[in-house]
C-alpha cells in the first residue's frame, strides 16, 4: 500500500508534466517550468527509496529527494517574488543559486563523506525501504537553516506585498499562501503527522496544481501579455520584427498574407537587399529611430489601408530592434477621408460665400466712397487714384520689406485706401462744396472728417471677422492727415506713433492733390510735386518712406499720364 502511494505520487507528477506541456504558454514564468521538471524527479527519488533493499540503493534515491530542499524551495521562492513583482538583485540571486548548488553537492557526498550524513542504515519494513539511525553532519544543519531562510523570505514577500503593493491582486496573494503553507507542513511537519510515509510527494503535487492555477491567473493580470495574445488569436494583426542592425528577423502569417513581399525576405538579411523593404520599411524604422514620435504610419497597399505601429523590440531592458504591427484600417481611413472631403467641400463653399460677402461689402464701401466723392466738387476720381497710388507704393515697399510687412497687411492697406475719406459724408455741403479757401471756423469743421471717418469705418466693419483689415481701415481714415512732425490733425500724433498705413496714405493723398486738377487750381507738374514731396519728408511725411516713393515715381508718372 505504501509503495502504491509513492507510485501514485510519481505517476500524478508525470501526468502534470504532460498537462503542463499541453497547456504551456510562452508567457508562463520560467521558474514554474523548473518546478514542473523537478517535482517528478524528486517523487521518483521517494519511490526508489521505498523500493530500496540496500543502503547503497537508499542513499542513491535519497540524493534525488534532496533536490527538493536544495533547489525546489529556492525555485518556489523565486517564483513567488516574480508573481509579487518584487525583483531580486542579480548578485543576490546568483548567491542563493551558488549556496543551493554547494548544499546539493554536499548531499551527493552522502555515503562517501560525513559532512552531510555521518551515518545511516536502511531497514525494510513491510516491504518498504526506510533509512534509519540517521546521524546528520554539520552541513545538514546548514541545509535546514537555508531551507528555513527560503520559507521565511517567501512568506515575508507575500506579507509585504499584501500590505504595501496595491498593484498585486489580493486573490493572487491568497492563492500563493496555500501551496507555500502546505509545503511547510510537508517539509517540517510531515513526520509528525505520520511516520509510515513521507508527505512531501503529496505536498509537491498539490503545490504543482496550485501553482499551475496561479500562473494561469497571473497572466490575466498582465495587460501586455493578454493584449498581445488577444491580437494574435484574433488574427487581424500582422507582426514584423527587425533587429537593431536593420536585418529582418521574421513575421507572422497574417503579415505575410497582408504583404506577399515578406515571403521574399531572408532571415538575418539587411532590409536594403529587398527593394520593397528598402523603399517602405527601412525609412519607417530610421525615422522612428531618430524620433520616437514617428511611431504611427498610414500605409496604402493595393485596395487596403493599414495602420502601422512601430515600437522597440526589447529583451528585458536591452534594445534588440524594432517591432512593426500592421492592422487593417481601411474602413476607418475611408471614413476619415470621406469626412475630410466633406469638410474640404464645406470649407470651399463657405470660402466662396465668404468671398461673395466680402466682395459685396467692398462694393458697398466703394459705393459709399464714390457717393461721398460725388458731393465734393474738387476731388473727382480722387478715391480711385489714391487707391492706385497706395498700391504702387506698397508694391515697392514690399520688394525690400524693410518694414517686414506680411502679405495680408499689404493686401488690406490697398483694400482700405478707398475708405480714407468716408468721414466727409458728415460735412455740410456748404463747406464741402465751397470753391474757395476755408475760413478758420470752416476748416475746423472740415478737419472733423478724419475722426468721423474712423467712426463710420468702425461701424461699417463692426461685424467683420478680419480684425486686421478693420484696424488698418480705421487708422487710414483717422490719421491720414497727421504730420510726421506732430503738427497734423486730429490727434497731433508724431513720428512712428502714426500708424504706417496712415503714413503711406498721407503721401498718396497729397501727391494726388498736387498733380490733379481742381476747381480752384490747375494740376502741378510732376517735377514740382516731387519737389514738394521731397521737402515734406521729415516734417509732413515719414522720411523712411522716401526711398520707396522715389522708386515708385516713374510708375506714378506713367499712371497719371494714362489717367488724364
What's the confidence (pLDDT) of residue 504? Answer: 94
Is residue 64 within 8 Å of 72, Cβ to Cβ? no
Place of cell 459724408: 425
Specify the pTM: 0.47
Q: CATH number of the domain at 135, please.
A: 1.20.1070
Give domain status of residue 179, yes or no.
yes
CA pair distance 503, 541, nearest whole angstrom: 7
Residues 476 and 538 in one domain: yes
| Domain, as residue range, for 239 | 235-328
Q: Is the pLDDT of residue 223 over 50?
A: no
Residues 321 and 462 in one domain: no
What's the confidence (pLDDT) of residue 539? Answer: 94
Better-scored residue on pLDDT, 179 or 281: 281
Q: At what angle are helices 90-107 and 138-164 packed, to 10 degrees?
A: 150
Residues 111 and 247 in one domain: no
Task: Kindly give, in sequence order, each residue whose CB lies less than 8 Å from that of residue 266, ignoring residues fewer than 6 positions away.
Answer: 248, 273
| Least confident window among 77-86, 191-200, 402-411 | 191-200
Q: What residues form DSSP beta bridges with 212?
A: none
How buried is 9 (Cβ within 10 angstroms: 0-12 exposed, 13-18 middle, 19+ buried)? buried
Give domain status of residue 499, yes or no.
yes
Query: Highest-confidence range of 2-6, 75-79, 301-305, 537-541, by mean pLDDT?
Result: 537-541
Residues 182 and 271 in one domain: no
Is residue 96 within 8 Å of 74, Cβ to Cβ? yes
Place of cell 510708375: 555
Q: How many domains does one find in the chain?
A: 3
Give domain status of residue 392, yes or no.
yes
Domain boundary among the residues 298, 328, 358 is at 328
What is the arithmetic mean of pLDDT over 252-268?
86
Residues 312 and 430 in one domain: no
What's the confidence (pLDDT) of residue 487? Answer: 93
Query: Highest-confidence range of 75-84, 116-125, 372-381, by mean pLDDT?
Result: 116-125
For 317, phi then psi, to 5°, come to -95, 0
Per-chain mean pLDDT for the chain: 83
Q: CATH number of the domain at 542, please.
A: 1.10.3210.10
What's the confidence (pLDDT) of residue 228? Answer: 52
What's the confidence (pLDDT) of residue 346? Answer: 83
Residues 376 and 493 in one domain: yes
Q: Is the pLDDT of residue 221 over 70?
A: no
Predicted confidence band of residue 520 (pLDDT cuts 50, 70, 90): low
Q: What distance separates the 2 farthest-apart alpha carbons in the chain?
A: 146
CA pair distance 32, 83, nearest whole angstrom: 11
What's the confidence (pLDDT) of residue 83? Answer: 75
Angle at CA 539, nearest 5°, toward 538 and 541? Answer: 70
The three-class DSSP label of residue 306 is: strand
Is residue 182 within 8 Å of 203, Cβ to Cβ? yes
Residues 254 and 212 in one domain: no
CA pair distance 174, 172, nearest whole angstrom: 5
**Nearest of 445, 457, 464, 272 to residue 357 by alpha carbon:** 464
What is the arithmetic mean of pLDDT over 17-32?
74
pLDDT in tens, 301-358: 888 888 889 988 876 667 888 989 888 877 887 777 787 787 888 888 877 776 766 6
Helices (H) and strands (E) in the chain, counts: 21, 7
Buried b (16+ CB within 10 A) or exposed e, 264-288: ebeeeebbeebeebeebbbebbeeb
Better-scored residue on pLDDT, 539 or 160: 539
Question: Assign residue 482 a region: left if phi > 0, alpha if psi is -120 to 50, beta otherwise?
Answer: beta
For 182, phi then psi, to 5°, come to -60, -40
pLDDT in tens, 402-432: 888 899 999 999 988 888 888 888 888 787 7
Q: At what angle are helices 30-50 and 73-83 packed, to 10 degrees?
A: 160
Is residue 249 within 8 Å of 241, Cβ to Cβ? yes
Percentage of residues in the chain with pLDDT exceeding 70?
A: 85
Better-scored residue on pLDDT, 190 or 413: 413
Better-scored residue on pLDDT, 315 or 267: 267
Residues 268 and 370 in one domain: no
Q: Is the pLDDT of residue 379 over 80?
A: no
Give domain status of residue 411, yes or no.
yes
What is the arithmetic mean of pLDDT over 483-489?
94
The three-class DSSP label of residue 313 is: strand
CA pair distance 432, 450, nearest whole angstrom: 14
CA pair distance 412, 234, nearest whole angstrom: 59
Residues 173 and 304 in one domain: no
Place of cell 474757395: 436
pLDDT in tens, 166-176: 666 666 667 77
Q: Is the pLDDT of residue 386 over 80?
A: yes
Residues 100 and 164 in one domain: yes
What is the arithmetic mean of pLDDT over 102-128?
88
Amino acid at each position: 500500500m505504501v509503495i502504491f502511494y509513492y507510485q501514485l505520487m510519481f505517476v500524478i507528477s508525470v501526468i502534470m508534466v504532460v498537462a503542463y506541456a499541453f497547456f504551456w504558454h510562452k508567457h508562463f514564468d520560467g521558474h514554474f517550468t523548473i518546478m514542473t521538471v523537478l517535482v517528478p524527479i524528486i517523487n521518483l527519488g521517494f519511490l526508489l527509496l521505498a523500493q530500496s533493499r540496500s543502503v547503497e540503493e537508499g542513499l542513491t534515491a535519497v540524493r534525488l529527494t534532496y533536490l527538493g530542499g536544495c533547489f525546489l524551495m529556492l525555485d518556489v521562492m523565486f517564483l513567488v517574488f516574480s508573481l509579487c513583482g518584487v525583483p531580486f538583485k542579480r548578485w543576490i540571486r546568483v548567491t542563493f543559486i551558488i549556496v543551493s548548488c554547494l548544499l546539493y553537492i554536499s548531499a551527493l557526498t552522502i555515503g562517501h563523506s560525513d559532512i552531510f550524513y555521518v551515518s545511516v542504515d536502511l531497514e525494510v519494513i513491510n516491504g518498504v525501504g526506510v533509512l534509519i539511525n540517521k546521524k546528520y553532519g554539520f552541513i545538514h544543519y546548514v541545509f535546514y537553516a537555508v531551507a528555513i531562510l527560503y520559507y521565511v523570505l517567501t512568506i515575508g514577500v507575500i506579507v509585504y506585498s499584501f500590505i504595501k503593493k496595491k498593484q498585486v491582486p489580493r486573490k493572487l496573494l491568497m492563492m500563493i499562501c496555500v501551496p507555500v503553507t502546505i509545503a511547510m507542513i510537508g517539509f517540517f511537519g510531515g513526520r509528525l503527522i505520520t511516520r509510515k510515509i513521507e508527505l512531501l510527494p503529496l505536498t509537491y503535487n498539490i503545490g504543482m496544481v496550485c501553482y499551475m492555477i496561479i500562473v494561469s491567473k497571473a497572466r490575466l493580470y498582465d495587460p501586455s501579455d493578454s493584449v498581445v495574445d488577444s491580437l494574435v488569436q484574433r488574427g487581424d494583426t500582422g507582426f514584423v520584427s527587425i533587429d537593431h542592425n536593420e536585418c529582418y528577423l521574421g513575421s507572422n502569417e497574417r503579415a505575410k498574407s497582408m504583404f506577399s513581399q515578406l515571403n521574399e525576405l531572408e532571415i538575418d538579411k539587411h532590409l536594403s537587399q529587398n527593394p520593397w523593404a528598402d523603399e517602405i520599411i527601412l525609412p519607417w524604422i530610421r525615422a522612428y529611430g531618430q524620433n520616437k514620435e514617428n511611431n504611427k504610419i498610414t500605409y496604402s497597399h493595393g485596395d487596403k489601408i493599414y495602420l502601422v505601429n512601430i515600437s522597440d523590440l526589447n529583451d528585458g531592458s536591452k534594445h534588440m530592434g524594432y517591432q512593426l504591427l500592421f492592422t487593417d484600417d481601411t474602413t476607418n481611413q475611408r471614413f476619415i477621408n470621406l469626412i475630410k472631403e466633406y469638410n474640404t467641400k464645406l470649407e470651399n463653399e463657405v470660402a466662396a460665400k465668404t468671398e461673395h460677402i466680402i466682395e459685396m461689402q467692398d462694393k458697398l464701401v466703394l459705393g459709399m466712397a464714390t457717393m461721398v466723392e460725388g458731393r465734393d466738387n474738387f476731388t473727382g476720381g480722387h478715391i480711385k487714384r489714391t487707391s492706385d497710388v497706395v498700391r504702387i507704393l506698397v508694391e515697392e515697399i514690399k520688394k525690400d520689406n524693410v518694414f517686414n510687412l506680411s502679405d495680408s497687411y499689404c493686401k488690406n492697406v490697398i483694400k482700405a485706401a478707398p475708405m480714407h475719406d468716408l468721414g466727409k459724408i458728415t460735412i455740410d455741403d456748404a463747406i464741402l462744396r465751397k470753391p474757395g479757401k476755408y475760413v478758420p471756423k470752416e476748416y475746423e469743421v472740415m478737419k472733423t472728417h478724419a475722426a468721423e471717418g474712423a467712426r463710420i469705418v468702425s461701424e461699417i466693419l463692426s461685424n467683420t471677422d478680419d480684425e486686421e483689415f478693420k484696424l488698418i481701415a480705421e487708422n487710414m481714415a483717422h490719421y491720414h492727415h497727421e504730420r510726421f512732425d506732430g503738427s497734423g490733425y486730429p490727434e497731433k500724433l508724431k513720428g512712428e506713433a502714426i500708424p504706417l498705413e496712415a503714413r503711406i496714405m498721407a503721401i498718396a493723398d497729397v501727391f494726388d492733390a498736387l498733380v490733379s486738377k481742381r476747381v480752384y487750381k490747375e494740376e502741378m507738374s510732376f517735377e514740382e510735386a516731387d519737389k514738394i514731396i521731397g521737402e515734406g519728408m521729415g516734417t509732413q511725411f515719414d522720411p523712411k518712406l522716401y526711398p520707396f516713393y522715389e522708386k515708385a515715381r516713374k510708375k506714378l508718372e506713367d499712371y497719371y499720364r494714362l489717367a488724364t
